[in-house]
């Protein structure tokens, strides 16, 4: 099946490039189909999404992220055991040792997504999840990598563990899910707030309140593809080429110039992930 078959039409290209700072190109959709990486990156670049952070959620996915980043100059990798995977693992210490080894690779810019998920993991699994989060924070600090945090229904404990272990130099709150008060608490710790398609949902005014109070130099955008598809395509599989819907919506919420917001997001992502990496295309086609 070709990449365009059965997908929404591509949105109008953005006036200036941005980065999808969190996606899962290795996650199958539509009955097990996985989009060819080249096609996914080409379609994204055509609308102004010229760089990507490929995020691992387990050992297999983290190794895959490293390999793709080695092959694709527009991609960098993030490696980790997702909190729910960590809670289920029977070999967690060995898993963490492998994440530590992978994090040393130059194509790896981040350790994540790690963190806490109290929605899918019950009380019995939380101690192991918290142990994993602490270990990932130490790995990020040891290798000078950005810490990418998954936080679902665990705001207070996420911040408590960050404070306990020590906040790394660069932190990204992936798919930011809190209100304006929690946003301030994250910003006080130096974090960047990454907004996904959820910010476009009708029932997400609390996310829009968080966006409004965020300093312009701390705002990022992501897909979490193939999940969290923005309006007007909610319910369909997500992909990086749909990022323009989210960015345009964010510009409207902020009552700001779209091109200026794109430039800010692009520069913010460079800082958040420890420096610039080459673009796949020199300009938006």
Count of beta carbons in the 10 Å neighbourhood of residue 10: 15
276 is in an annotated binding site: no
Rounded Cα distance between 229 and 245, Å, is: 9
Rounded Cα distance between 11 and 230, Å, is: 12
113 is in an annotated binding site: yes
136 is in an annotated binding site: no
Question: Pairing between strand 171-173 and 192-195?
Answer: parallel
Count of beta carbons in the 10 Å neighbourhood of residue 249: 18
143 is in an annotated binding site: no
Contact (Cβ atoms closer than 8 angstroms) between residue 83 and residue 96: no
Q: Strands of 171-173's sheet, edge to edge?
A: 18-23, 49-55, 75-79, 108-117, 146-152, 171-173, 192-195, 219-221
> Looking up tokens 């996915």, which residue turns up?
61
224 is in an annotated binding site: yes
174 is in an annotated binding site: yes
Bind-site residues: 22, 24, 113, 150, 174, 224
Bind-site residues for a divalent metal cation: 22, 24, 113, 150, 174, 224
């Amino acid at each position: 099946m070709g990449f365009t078959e059965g997908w929404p039409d591509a949105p109008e290209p953005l006036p200036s490039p941005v980065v999808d700072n969190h996606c899962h190109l290795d996650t199958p959709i539509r009955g097990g189909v996985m989009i060819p990486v080249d096609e996914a990156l080409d379609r994204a670049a055509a609308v102004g999404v010229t760089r990507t952070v490929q995020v691992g959620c387990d050992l297999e996915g983290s190794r895959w992220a490293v390999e793709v980043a080695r092959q694709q100059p527009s991609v960098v990798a993030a490696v980790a055991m997702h909190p729910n995977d960590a809670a289920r693992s029977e070999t967690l210490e060995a898993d963490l040792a492998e994440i530590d080894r992978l994090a040393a690779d130059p194509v790896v810019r981040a350790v994540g997504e790690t963190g806490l998920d109290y929605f899918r993991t019950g009380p019995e699994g939380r101690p192991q999840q918290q142990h994993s989060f602490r270990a990932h924070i130490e790995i990020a600090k040891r290798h000078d990598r950005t810490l990418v945090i998954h936080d679902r229904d665990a705001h207070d404990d996420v911040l408590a563990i960050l404070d306990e272990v020590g906040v790394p130099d660069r932190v990204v709150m992936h798919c930011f899910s809190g209100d304006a008060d929690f946003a301030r608490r994250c910003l006080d710790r130096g974090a960047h707030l990454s907004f996904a398609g959820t910010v476009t949902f009708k029932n997400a005014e609390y996310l829009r309140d968080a966006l409004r109070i965020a300093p312009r130099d701390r705002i990022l955008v992501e897909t979490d593809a193939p999940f969290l598809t923005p309006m007007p395509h909610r319910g369909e599989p997500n992909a990086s080429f749909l990022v323009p819907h989210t960015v345009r919506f964010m510009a409207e919420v902020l009552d700001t110039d779209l091109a200026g917001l794109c430039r800010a997001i692009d520069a913010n992502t460079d800082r958040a992930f420890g420096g610039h990496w080459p673009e796949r295309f020199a300009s938006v086609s």
